[in-house]
Structure 1
Amino acid sequence: MEEYGSNFIHDIIDEDIKNGFSERIHTRFPPEPNGYLHIGSAKAIWINSGTAKKYGGLFNLRYDDTNPVKEDDEYVQAIEEDLRWLGAEPNGGIYYGSDYFDQCYEFAVKLIKDGKAYVCDLNAEQMRQYRGTLTEPGKESPYRNRSVEENLALFERMKNGEFPDGSCTLRARIDMASPNMNLRDPAIYRIVRAHHHRQGDKWCIYPLYDFAHPIQDALEGITHSLCSIEFENHRPLYDWVVDNIGFEKKPHQYEFARLNVTYTVMSKRYLKKLVDEGLVDGWDDPRMPTLCGLRRRGYTPTSILEFVKTAGVSKNYSVVDIGLLEHCIRDELNLTAPRRIAVTEPLKVTITNYPEDQVEYFEVSNNPNDASAGTRKVPFTRELFIERSDFMEVPVPKYFRLKPGGEVRLMGSYVIKCEDFVKDENGEVVELRCTYDPYTNGRNPEDGHKIKGTIHWLSASHCVEADVALYDKLFTIENVSDIPEDKTYDDYLNPASKKILTGCKLEESMSDVKAGERFQFVRLGYFCKDSKNENTYNQIVTLKDSWQKAKK
């Protein structure tokens, strides 16, 4: 139980139990299948599934598929996959809001018979005008006092498809003078002629979310309906529906603050726009905040849930530093990821005084933080590759890597000295000519050489080639919700968010790596074998932990 900690929601439940609440805790996660889940969804999943698990309760997955225009089976399948990937088992069952359409219709008829709902012929613009403002009460619809018989007949005709889309709605009769705008006779049914992914063409009228959702919760026996804070003002309507339909066991709604992350957009509508316009490489583009994108990039379920847990649960709006998410995966992989050597921008090095046909092996650790990971042997030969950035023809001050006439230690092996270099016709350095000191073989750390610079390397004849994808933030503005009115998200897309390095050199032991395997490329960061491009490694995160440093 301690795994889920405590928060204000759990404090409420604890108090309820203390005061005699004896029902089994039952929660649900109700995503609309109109896009892929993102990092913000992970918070709602963790809160709902974690609360049920903490109290030995039940957790439902229920698709909010009441809007056929935007929904698709592709999203339905992806949502369940992401949910299970996070480890949130829907032990209470998997449901669809559309499976309750018959009950919703019958409950709407009940409200009409009770004089609590009426068919209104105002169009959308007229309804906005009649609704009033935050400081002025609304005005009653001229159709508000239709008789029960007339409303029943009109609602039946709506269901039978006798009216065009948008020509009328069924509205709850509540209070047009209520200070809560959501109680000013809200629409609870509208006419929409669209093929439903599950119900086909059975219906041409659909319940709105604020009407359908509390009904679904009540029918499933949900005890605690946990949702994000934007639904706080909708709670009185939620309670009105439950009370006036007359459910014996009444669910109650509790709200928490949404998860907002720096340099990130959570709008599914905008994320879909990025996909549809080809601005990213699909919903699972590793730059996307979607769970499938994070999974493809190499993030683990445990790192994402640790991020959500650390960010905390409250009712106050906040924007969480994306550096915390990076810290969580970096912290995990530091302990678990095998170390491997990769040279992403290779520069050839020839050791002129090393025998041409000799191969020597140096033993290196697979993970210095995990002794059980063991060691491996890395071959050393006359021709090597190092990173191009580890050599400067005209070095800057305090440059401790390789330079003309300078020495550097090759990690775990010899000290070499740059004697000369070769340039191509464009003046670019293409080869270094070096000598090595055979008495500095790395096996004796007290070899007498005080070398400040250590760089990584690979044997040119014992390596494999791959592409490496480097990623930066998708947006250039920290608080994406704070953009000026004359700007759009598009204005802040980062043109340098993705860079592909081709012809990179990796240890030959990586010739049979499976998709999804994660590694630390020594001195470079953490990387994951891509699931779509067979010979590509995606950068998960760099080695530098800016969030941890900022904390200090």
Structure 2
Amino acid sequence: MSEKSKNFIEQIIEGDIQKGKHGGAVRTRFPPEPNGYLHIGHAKAICLNFGVANDYNGTTNLRFDDTNPATEEEHYVESIKKDIQWLGYDWDDRLYFASDYFQQLYDYGMQLVEQGDAYVDDSSSEEIAAQKGTVTTPGINSPYRERTIEENRDLFQRMKNGEFEEGSRVLRARIDMAHPNMNMRDPLIYRIKNVPHHQSGDTWHIYPMYDFAHPVSDSIENITHSLCTLEFENHRPIYDWFLEKLGTFPSRQIEFARLNVNYTITSKRKLRRLVEECFVDGWDDPRMPTLSGMRRRGFTPASIRQFAGKVGVAKRDNVIDISLLEHCLRDDLNAKANRMMAILHPLKVVITNYPEDKVEWMEAENNPENEAAGIRKMPFSRELYIEREDFMEDPPKKYFRMTPGKHVRLKHGYILFCEKAIKDENGEVVEVHCTYAPDSKSGEDTSGIKVRGTLHYVEATHARQVEVRLYDRLFNVPIPDENPDVDYTTHINPESRKVLTEVMVEPELANAQPGEIFQFFRKGYFILDPDSTDEHLIFNQAVALRDSWAKMQKKKK
């Protein structure tokens, strides 16, 4: 790894190693809250935490920050574990929960009380907010701030025992109500919640706040480098204050820029609303930026890891063009996905001089980028389907597809000469009649006919009718939640999903397995949806073939 390529986090880690800090150990953690599904922003944090630990022979813990039982559920825990493993990372035997430390956290809270560094406050949430002041005016002390250690000890223990109503009391740190950092103005440490916990059941009636549970849990696990996104930068003084007052392992918090991608949102609260109000079909809807949705859409672990690597690690928040993410997916799938024929909007072609009872099986390469992919056989007969957009009766200049009086080649097939179009009573073309040149077979062409256009096709008698879902961006503006006064759901793209039910595909696709990805020739990459059955195959569009990001980068050069 060259000096030039090291990001600021790697530079910090290497500096610590050179100084012999923590014996040269590198221990990171990924601490998701189990109140929703992981999204593309989390993917960057996962790749960073597991990646730097791996690079420096360290370890990464998976620790669930399950300190708010009102919003957390076990199925979120399982989905998060599945997503991390799908990305290609493993925590081995280092799976932890903040709830594992509830007794230790309570004991540390009591230690702060005994030291005079924490007090029980009976103020309401509105009164506490008012006491904090503003960024330009100092806060005021709570009337309960000078309670004795004995009184605070008694009240905190009774809070734990469930003697008080929810919202009636909190435990606060005694720091400085005039501190310039408002987060340091006697922050909350514990609140009362008479809610059962998915891990600990009804054992606890008080739960620690994130700003307390986060640094102390890091310290309990001897985390050397606690990597957080920039929104926690102003919380670092609290992090350090707790560890200093408790005299525990000195974990270090380091902040990096979170990942923001245009035309999407990465707020779990806002994503949850999309699910609960049925703007989408669930957390794994292919239009969602969740890892489960992206997996169902056809994104691969390698493409997401490549994207995270290209985005890099920065100290300032910025917005990444979604075209880069799509480019990474195309780059990965190009060498992996087998090419198949699919006709999204079928138009029948009849080859009038081809024998009616004859079917030929043409050799077709599965992937020109991968010789090991081999070949397959695809049928060719008198009746075929082509894309409706590949035929025009009165085309413009430089139109090289099918049109009356012109030749065109069928990929892995023959050269056809278009004779005429057959129309219905409304004047719509429903069928095209052609003739073929028998000596123009692909790979054996001796016809001498020169053609400039090549079309894909699906043979009619062996074709399989399937459903295809075409996806576009979920939102039609680059930053949907930029204006807090405008409901971000008003920017949902009504054309974000189109369902085609009369798509014709070659028979080989009947053997596809859920999760298998293909390139539909000239159309894009598609994945077989897990809801598919043998009778009803559903293919989701992962990404189209166009690569606007790559073209844009080429122009810059």
Calculate the TM-score normalised by the size of structure 2. Answer: 0.96
Counterpart for residue 240 of structure 1: 241
Gap regions ≥5 residues in structure 1: none
C-alpha contact (below 8 Å) 2:158/2:164 kept by paired residues: yes
**1:365-444 matches, cutoff 5 A:** 365-444=365-444
Between 18-27 and 139-148, report the one with greater CA deviation.
Answer: 18-27
Counterpart for residue 492 of structure 1: 491
Are positions 1:281 and 2:281 aligned together?
yes
AA at the equivalent of 1:375: I
Provide the rounded CA distance (Å) in 2 between the counterparts of 1:438 and 1:313: 60
Give the match's secondary structure for 2:92: coil
AA at the equivalent of 1:176: M
After superposition, the C-alpha distances for 1:23-74 in whole angstroms (9 at most, x for unaligned) are 4211100000000001111011111111111111111000000001000001
**Cα shift at 1:425:** 3.3
Are positions 1:66 and 2:38 aligned together?
no
Provide the rounded CA distance (Å) in 1 between the counterparts of 2:314 and 2:254: 11
Are positions 1:463 and 2:476 aligned together?
no
Give the match's secondary structure for 1:439: helix
Counterpart for residue 546 of structure 2: 544
AA at the equivalent of 1:546: S
After superposition, the C-alpha distances for 1:412-451 in whole angstroms (9 at most, x for unaligned) are 3222122122222333211111111223222246743232
Counterpart for residue 339 of structure 1: 339
After superposition, the C-alpha distances for 1:127-153 in whole angstroms (9 at most, x for unaligned) are 111101111111111111111111111
Counterpart for residue 527 of structure 1: 526
Provide the rounded CA distance (Å) in 2 between the counterparts of 1:401 and 1:126: 73
**1:117-516 matches, cutoff 5 A:** 117-247=118-248, 249-444=249-444, 447-482=447-482, 484-516=483-515
AA at the equivalent of 1:518: I
Provide the rounded CA distance (Å) in 2 between the counterparts of 1:443 and 1:156: 84
Provide the rounded CA distance (Å) in 2 between the counterparts of 1:445 and 1:473: 43
**Cα shift at 1:5:** 6.1
After superposition, the C-alpha distances for 1:111-165 in whole angstroms (9 at most, x for unaligned) are 1110000011111111111101111111111111111111111112212222221
C-alpha contact (below 8 Å) 1:465/1:504 kept by paired residues: yes
Between 488-497 and 450-459, report the one with greater CA deviation.
Answer: 450-459
Gap regions ≥5 residues in structure 2: none
Provide the rounded CA distance (Å) in 1 between the counterparts of 2:93 and 2:238: 26
C-alpha contact (below 8 Å) 1:85/1:301 kept by paired residues: yes
After superposition, the C-alpha distances for 1:174-196 in whole angstroms (9 at most, x for unaligned) are 01111111110001111111111
C-alpha contact (below 8 Å) 1:381/1:459 kept by paired residues: yes
Provide the rounded CA distance (Å) in 1 between the counterparts of 2:164 and 2:389: 70
AA at the equivalent of 1:411: K
Counterpart for residue 112 of structure 2: 111
Give the match's secondary structure for 2:439: coil
Provide the rounded CA distance (Å) in 1 between the counterparts of 2:148 and 2:447: 99
C-alpha contact (below 8 Å) 1:58/1:92 kept by paired residues: no
C-alpha contact (below 8 Å) 1:59/1:92 kept by paired residues: no
Give the match's secondary structure for 1:523: coil
After superposition, the C-alpha distances for 1:1-29 in whole angstroms (9 at most, x for unaligned) are 78x96311011111111222224211100
Counterpart for residue 518 of structure 1: 517
AA at the equivalent of 1:407: H
C-alpha contact (below 8 Å) 1:266/1:289 kept by paired residues: yes
Give the match's secondary structure for 1:336: coil
**Cα shift at 1:539:** 0.6
C-alpha contact (below 8 Å) 1:415/1:436 kept by paired residues: yes
Give the match's secondary structure for 1:287: coil
After superposition, the C-alpha distances for 1:85-120 in whole angstroms (9 at most, x for unaligned) are 111111360001011111111111111110000011
Counterpart for residue 78 of structure 1: 79
**Cα shift at 1:234:** 0.4
C-alpha contact (below 8 Å) 2:113/2:149 kept by paired residues: yes
**Cα shift at 1:383:** 0.6
Between 11-20 and 400-409, report the one with greater CA deviation.
Answer: 400-409
C-alpha contact (below 8 Å) 2:413/2:441 kept by paired residues: yes
Give the match's secondary structure for 2:273: helix
After superposition, the C-alpha distances for 1:320-342 in whole angstroms (9 at most, x for unaligned) are 11111111110111111111111
C-alpha contact (below 8 Å) 2:439/2:445 kept by paired residues: no
Give the match's secondary structure for 1:316: coil
Calculate the TM-score normalised by the size of structure 1. Answer: 0.97
Give the match's secondary structure for 1:480: coil
Between 5-14 and 108-117, report the one with greater CA deviation.
Answer: 5-14
After superposition, the C-alpha distances for 1:233-267 in whole angstroms (9 at most, x for unaligned) are 000100001111111x3111001100000101101
Counterpart for residue 56 of structure 1: 57
Give the match's secondary structure for 2:72: coil
AA at the equivalent of 1:105: Y
AA at the equivalent of 2:156: F
Provide the rounded CA distance (Å) in 2 between the counterparts of 1:485 and 1:210: 26
Give the match's secondary structure for 1:323: helix
